[in-house]
Structure 1
Amino acid sequence: MTTSNHPGVSHTIFDLLGIPGLEDKHMWISIAFFISYVIALLGNSLLFFIILTNLSLHAPMYLFLCMLAGTDVVLSTCIVPQALAIFWFHAGEISLDRCIAQVFFLSYTFISESGILLVMAFDRYIAICYPLRYTTILTHALIGKIGVAIFLRSYCTVFPMTFLLKRLTFCKSNIIPNITCKHIILAKISCNDIRVNIWYGFFVLISTLVLDVVLIFISYVLILHAVFHIPSRDARHKALNTCVSHVCVIILFYGPGIFSVLTQRFGHHIALHIHVLMASVYTLIPPMLNPIIYGIKTKQIWDLTCGSCHLVLRLRAGHIFLKEYLPFEIQVF
């Protein structure tokens, strides 16, 4: 791919480099990407299936978890297939329209997941502070409206980015030193004044992620205040235990993202490949670990998952026994 500084040239085809400085290790890095993607797909699909097919799990907490699982699948799909194409086939060429679409879907799902984590904190607040009114407050109709509001907020926030990027002329370079297209990275290789892009990106960050973190923090302050006023020690322990999974997921989602933002802002001496790897972590790790955390820490999901596994093993064992000792074959599956 070529670069140009000619003001009359506007590139419409770009080249994603992958992880600059680690080109010789792309094959090894791709193994970690591939494994995390497979685990994320299988784990979240299983979680989604278990919740939707079991009426006992159609409670507000599990419906929000179902939204989270679906969003996790989309979030990891926005990153990993493109990264694997670069690592395995050196297929980093991407058109401007595809690049902008990638920016849209990546930002959309990231903001949606942040919104889902916020309403899950609200769900825990209602369950602990108003347990007797839990199901009457969080009705299925309200959950549906909350879901629409989450995804509508994400769409309305991210959609203007497409116009802010489409107005730019990319005459500086068509090289993107990353595994995926991102709003500010794409804006920085244009030859226009990008102050509007920078300020709008800052507005999106403050009005979505930062606001969500503040509201989640307030929710847990209220939750802790209510929990420590419960007279029974066992009841306090049980109430806090219901929040453990959610707190772990919050740390996994926001922790690497905050660290990545801080290193980009203040870590100018840090190598570029470290920035790219850190930016990848917060879109790879949460989708992979979220279903594992909720599967282990949530008794109902764990029991149903283990029950399904035991049933499959017993059916397979019976199938082997019948094939071994009967004069004719009986098909179990």
Structure 2
Amino acid sequence: MEMETYNLTSVSEFQLMGFSEDPALQSILFGLFLTMYLVTVCGNLLIILAVIYDSHFHTPMYFFLSNLSLADICFISTTVPKMIAEIQTHSTVISYLGCLMQMNLFIIFMCMDDMLLTVMAYDRFVAICHPLHYAVIMNPRLCTLLILMSICFSLLASQVHNFLALQLTCFKDVKIANFFCHPSQLLTLSCSDTLIKNIVTYFAGVVFGFIPMAGILLSYFKIVSSILRIPSSGGRYKAFSTCSSHLSVVCLFYGTGLAVYLSSAVSYSPRKCMAASLMYTVVTPMLNPFIYSLRNRDFSHFLKRLHCGTV
């Protein structure tokens, strides 16, 4: 039996895969994802508020953290509100233009997270390896420039994927095996020759994924080498504690992201891929505020002042 194909002119919408079609679970999923979304937004907004209003947080590290929190809010907002609406309306349909828009925003803010984690790794490298020159090197002009470079890098990555998506002329199916329009799965649905598109996609993945990861690994190689040269154990612990939160977020972000591609490469399962996608698109942005505020005295003092109304 010949597989039905869909021309681009006949495709006006796609159908996303839901987590469950069981009506009994719909209310549970709705409450769960709504709670996770609200916790993520409130937690990251609290970090942004702290950085803006508390002078203790007027440092490069917290400046980058506030930008990461803003990117996380936007990142989770590209997928979860749509998913919550789908559960409530019992509709998994997304328009073609809506799918392209969601894909572009997803790439932009995922790359922003990636780039900001790289910038924060460089900040920790300067703080630990060149502490006497930290204030001179990490000046406001450089910090602003690094943020602008991260934005430009992310926009460029989205335009590359957008260009590839616009080259798709027909599709094997209109069912996307995920809860959002994932770029790689949209490319998989194409029935046209995807050799060149795959080459460009993997090249873009190397440029926009490997380079930031290489920057983080190089920074931490220098950091670990510098920490090991500290004579006292107390000094080593203090130096390591300044980058432990960032390292935890990096491991969570890259670990869950790699799990998506490894699981699809070894034994592809739509449910497993969707669960892994949920980890780095929803769980990671939700946990970031807790990781950075955990055992952070400055944040504890800020929350006490906020509770007392003295902020």
Category of TM-score, reference length = shorter chain: over 0.9
TM-score (norm 2): 0.92
**SS in structure 1 at match of 2:79:** helix
Match of 1:141 in 2: 141
Pair member with larger Rg: 1
Gaps of 5+ in 2: none
1:105-160 CA distance string (max 9 Å, x none): 10111111011001111111100111111111001111000000001011112212
Give the letter for the 1:287 counterpart: P
Identity of aligned residues (%): 28
Distance 1:164 1:86 in 2: 27
Q: 2:299, 2:200 → 1: CA distance?
A: 41
Say if 2:239 is the partner of 1:239. yes
Query: Structure 2 residue aligned with 1:287, among 282, 285, 288?
Result: 285
Aligned letter for 1:306? Answer: K
Q: Is the 8 A contact 1:11 1:173 kept in 2?
A: no
1:66-89 residue CA offsets vs partner (Å, 9 max, x unmatched): 111000000110110111112221
Aligned partners of 1:7 and 1:171 also within 8 Å: yes
Deviation, 1:15, is 1.9
Aligned equivalents of 1:67 and 1:165: distance in 2?
29
Q: Secondary structure at the match of 1:73?
A: helix
Counterpart position of 1:306: 304
Name whichever of 255-264 and 5-14 sits farther off: 5-14
Q: CA RMSD in A?
A: 1.9
Q: Corresponding residue for 2:111?
A: 111
Matches within 5 A, 1:190-209: 190-209=190-209
Cα pair distance change 1:232/1:292, threshold 3 Å: same
Q: Separation in 2 of the partners of 1:177 and 1:90? A: 17
Cα distance in 2 between the residues matched to 1:197 and 1:297: 46
Partner of 1:319: none
The whole-number CA distance in structure 1 between the counterparts of 2:9 and 2:302 is 59
> Alignment partner of 1:173: what SS?
coil
Per the TM alignment, residue 228 of structure 1 is displaced from its structure 2 partner at its CA by 1.5
**Residues 264, 275 of structure 1: 8 Å contact kept:** yes
1:12–1:95 contact (8 Å) kept in structure 2? yes
Q: TM-score, structure 1 length as denominator?
A: 0.87
Change (3 A) 1:42 1:131: same
CA contact (8 A) 2:100 2:162 kept: yes
Amino acid at match of 2:304: C
**DSSP 3-state at the match of 2:172:** coil
Q: Give runs of aligned pairs for residues 50-129 of structure 1, distance below 5 A.
A: 50-129=50-129
Contact 1:168/1:192 (<8 A) preserved:
yes
The answer as to whether partners of 2:48 and 2:70 remain within 8 angstroms in 1 is: yes
**CA 132–73 in structure 1, closer or farther in 2 if over 3 Å, else same:** same
1:272 aligns with 2:282: no
- Which region of structure 1 is more displaced relative to structure 2, 78-87 or 292-301? 292-301
User: CA 1:5/1:246 → structure 2, altered by over 3 Å: closer, same or farther?
Assistant: same
Q: Please name the residue that 1:211 is paired with.
A: 211
CA distance in 2, matches of 1:17, 1:79: 13
Q: Distance in 1 between matches of 2:84 and 2:161?
A: 26
Partner of 1:182: 182
Sort the Cα spacing of 1:174 and 1:136 in 2 relative to 1 into closer, same or farther, 3 A: same
Say if 1:236 and 1:7 are closer, same or farther in 2 by CA, change over 3 A.
closer
Q: Aligned in 2, Cα 1:170/1:296: closer, same or farther, shift over 3 Å?
A: same
- Alignment of structure 1 residues 27-38 onto 2, 5 Å: 27-38=27-38
Structure-2 separation of matches of 1:141 and 1:180: 37
Structure 1 residue 9, shift from structure 2 partner: 5.7
Contact 2:107/2:157 (<8 A) preserved: no
What is the rounded CA distance, in whole Å, between the counterparts of 2:165 and 2:190 in structure 1?
A: 9
Residues 1:6 and 1:218: Cα distance change in structure 2 (over 3 Å): closer
Residue 7 of structure 1: how far off its partner (Å): 5.5
- Checking the alignment, whether the CA contact within 8 Å between 2:160 and 2:204 is kept in structure 1 is no
Structure 1 residue 277: deviation in Å?
1.4
Aligned mates of 1:94, 1:73 — CA distance in 2: 21
Amino acid at match of 1:163: F
Q: Find the residue that maps to 1:297 and give its secondary structure.
A: coil
